[in-house]
Structure 1
Amino acid sequence: MGTPEFAVASLDALVQAGYNVVGVITAPDKPAGRGMKLTESAVKKYAVQHGLHVLQPEKLKNPVFLKELIALRADLQIVVAFRMLPEAVWNMPKMGTVNVHGSLLPQYRGAAPINWAVINGEKETGVTTFKLKHEIDTGDILLQESFPIGEDETAGEVHDRMKEIGAQLLVKTVEGLENGTLQEKPQSSMVNGEWSMGNPETSGTHSPLTTHHSPLQHASKIFTETCKIDFTKTVEEVHDLIRGLSPFPGAFTTFNGKLMKIYKSKKEVTAGRPAESGLTDNSFTTDGKTYFKFACSNGFVHVLELQLEGKKRMLIEDFLRGYRS
């Protein structure tokens, strides 16, 4: 069960591993583009190419869909980047339903775990496979794998690495469930606003991490207000917001009365505030040829790649070539 490109990697990994995928459930075709032509999801395109049986329910509680799902007689259901499932669906298979989530649960439960991990300046993230239950992203953990986040890495780049890591972790999870070697581990308990994974018995490098205490971070849906850059913040905070929202939906500011999205940046931390050099917060400076930078509370954020309203996405050198102050 999945919809976007992220889910295709997991489906392909299961197919390549030789598992019998009896059905693929994905979103209905939707109008897209200027011509509003009906467009198939990435998962459906893959399924059709590989001759897999596809179901596209509008509503997951529809009796007709539930009857079709029962008829598939699946031993196990896999969910990757899909939608919330009713209990009638996730509790149907005898082996339950496994979800692939883009964080080291219980951290970053929610809709946008990759974005928020980067926005918050995390140095590492990971993938978790777990069994679904009532509350979202709270089920018992099966396996986890962590990996570092680069200082200048964007959410899109993390996404592309994560989908492959998650796909391989999923295959290991299914193998473990199949041969009975996996032990489900409850997610953390909360104590004074902090979480603790504890130190369960582990086997191999793909088990939950050891004891750790830190504030529990959430990964709520990204809204427009989240994407607006506040240049009164530090260089680090602004840089992390830009890369955490790149390539989609994109962090933005206004420039000469037009919306400007910034997709890539680099940091320049100064000894003093830019205001001491005659620059105030949220102002910019440029040589008109090679650099264009905004002042923040402790330095500058250099714009490397941007898109001005009504224009295409471009490198800063191309933008400055046509820029007139």
Structure 2
Amino acid sequence: MKKEDIRIVFMGTPEFAVESLKALVENGYHVVAVVTQPDKPVGRHQETLQPSPVKQYALAHHLPVLQPVKMKDADFIEELRSYKADLQVVVAFRMLPEIVWGMPRLGTFNVHAALLPHYRGAAPINWAVINGETETGVTTFFLDKDIDTGRIILQKPFAIPDTADVEYVYDGLMHLGAKIAMETIDLIASKLPEDNLEKVDFTAVLNDISAPQACEDVELPTAPKIFKETCEINWNQSAKKIYDFVRGLSPYPGTWSTLHPISPNGEKPLVMKVYKTAKSDHPATGTPGTLAIEKNRLYVNTSDGCIELLDIQLSGKKRMDVRSFLNGFKGIENYTFRRE
């Protein structure tokens, strides 16, 4: 079967998904419709509706767009079925009910930004960097009833340099995800005849090109959703753990910590975001969270030494390098980082 003959419904929302949709459109795949999240209210009073990046791309290329509030809505199901998709491709979307993922005869596959079964969940890129992994990757797998547990089709590895932050890995996996999406469709097409499709056992074909996930007896790392509380720095950890934690959440959503005055005299605690740090040989000078300033450089004590802060932002202020911060903020030596 030719790739151009496979009717595809694409599902996705953020920028990460746009790259895959763009690759399919620009390389001649037959995308018949796009499903994305409803427009999001933005602005001070939430008076403006912002379309998702996927919707913006789809409309610019004259693709029909569906935006269901509920994936089981009867009108949405009827409209989705009207496109008679052979295959559904999901990239950075939401959990689908069986009535949706089971609809196409060639199934529904997802592009996941990790090497499954490792890092199942909503934030695989962040957690791979936070945990100090040296390698991650992308996986295509057929959806089933559980989250990220379906049969694996293809995988591609991606190296994580020790200096990389999550933005670097995100960008790399975004492009690698587009590539593996096309290769997966090509693989499916190559296993189907050009005619007499009514005689094809589609389940057997799809099982032939995929395999169950190998789940070791050891506990696998997961990738739960990240909240504001997740991003608070624990200075009682090692410098290496803190270094990986910061780069795993930089530039977005960004780690943070609260500076408390050592001897309060009317000063209020200050919330600081930390976007970049550096490993340091600077000897420990105090308990975890206490500061050390030396020649326009700012160090924080951890459980096993010091870590240097390089790029920060005080609440209500602009993001800046530490040298600029120290030049403009006097009395920082009278503060310490402390968790509530």
Q: Within 2, Cα distance between the matches of 1:187 and 1:42? A: 31
Deviation at 1:269, TM superposition (A): 4.1
The reply on whether 1:293 has 2:293 as its aligned counterpart is no
Q: Which residue of 2 aligns with 1:184?
A: 210
**Contact 2:13-2:37 within 8 A present in 1 as well:** yes
Deviation at 1:87, TM superposition (A): 0.3
For normalisation by structure 1, the TM-score amounts to 0.88
Worse overlay, 178-187 or 161-170: 178-187
**Contact 1:285-1:294 within 8 A present in 2 as well:** yes
2:308 partner SS: strand
Deviation at 1:287, TM superposition (A): 3.2
Q: Which residue of 1 aligns with 2:237?
A: 233
Per-residue CA shift, 1:221-256, capped at 9, x if unaligned?
Answer: 113332111111111000011111112221111124
Which runs of 5 or more structure 1 residues have no equivalent in the other structure?
195-214
Per-residue CA shift, 1:151-188, capped at 9, x if unaligned?
Answer: 12111211011100111111111100111197101101
Q: Which residue of 2 aligns with 1:151?
A: 162
Q: Within 1, Cα distance between the matches of 2:67 and 2:309? A: 42
The reply on whether 1:106 has 2:132 as its aligned counterpart is no
Q: Within 2, Cα distance between the matches of 1:184 and 1:64? A: 33
| Equivalent AA in structure 1 for residue 164 of structure 2 | E
Change (3 A) 1:70 1:249: same
The reply on whether 1:243 has 2:271 as its aligned counterpart is no
> Which of 267, 275, 279 is 1:263 aligned to?
275
> Which of 43, 66, 80 is 1:33 aligned to?
43
Which runs of 5 or more structure 2 residues have no equivalent in the other structure?
1-10, 193-207, 261-268, 332-340
**Contact 1:288-1:321 within 8 A present in 2 as well:** no
Q: Within 1, Cα distance between the matches of 2:97 and 2:127? A: 26
Q: Within 2, Cα distance between the matches of 1:322 and 1:269? A: 26
> Which of 77, 82, 105 is 1:71 aligned to?
82
Q: Within 2, Cα distance between the matches of 1:68 and 1:164? A: 31
| Equivalent AA in structure 2 for residue 304 of structure 1 | L
| Equivalent AA in structure 2 for residue 318 of structure 1 | S
Deviation at 1:288, TM superposition (A): 6.1
Per-residue CA shift, 1:13-38, capped at 9, x if unaligned?
Answer: 11111011100000111111325211
Q: Which residue of 1 aligns with 2:324?
A: 318
Q: Which residue of 1 aligns with 2:264?
A: none
Q: Within 2, Cα distance between the matches of 1:152 and 1:33? A: 35
Q: Which residue of 2 aligns with 1:199?
A: none
1:22 partner SS: strand
Deviation at 1:6, TM superposition (A): 0.4
Deviation at 1:279, TM superposition (A): 2.1
| Equivalent AA in structure 1 for residue 29 of structure 2 | Y
**Contact 2:37-2:67 within 8 A present in 1 as well:** yes
**Contact 1:288-1:320 within 8 A present in 2 as well:** no
Q: Within 1, Cα distance between the matches of 2:235 and 2:167? A: 23
Per-residue CA shift, 1:266-312, capped at 9, x if unaligned?
Answer: 11146xx61xxx422211112363x1111112221111111111112
Q: Which has the larger radius of gyration?
A: 2
Q: Within 2, Cα distance between the matches of 1:288 and 1:52? A: 58
Q: Within 2, Cα distance between the matches of 1:13 and 1:138? A: 26
> Which of 88, 94, 104 is 1:83 aligned to?
94
Per-residue CA shift, 1:48-68, capped at 9, x if unaligned?
Answer: 111111011111101100010
Q: Percent identity?
A: 48
Q: Within 2, Cα distance between the matches of 1:9 and 1:175? A: 17
For normalisation by structure 2, the TM-score amounts to 0.84
Question: In angstroms, what is the RMSD of aligned CA positions?
Answer: 1.4
Q: 1:265-280 maps to which residues of 2 (within 5 A)?
A: 265-269=277-281, 274=284, 278-280=285-287
Count residues with an aligned counterpart. Answer: 297
| Equivalent AA in structure 1 for residue 309 of structure 2 | V
Q: Which residue of 2 aligns with 1:20?
A: 30
Q: Within 2, Cα distance between the matches of 1:118 and 1:74? A: 36
Worse overlay, 295-304 or 257-266: 295-304
| Equivalent AA in structure 2 for residue 282 of structure 1 | G
Worse overlay, 304-313 or 65-74: 304-313
1:58 partner SS: coil
Deviation at 1:321, TM superposition (A): 2.2
Deviation at 1:147, TM superposition (A): 1.3
**Contact 2:142-2:150 within 8 A present in 1 as well:** yes
2:309 partner SS: strand
The 4+ residue runs of structure 1 with deviation greater than 3 A are none
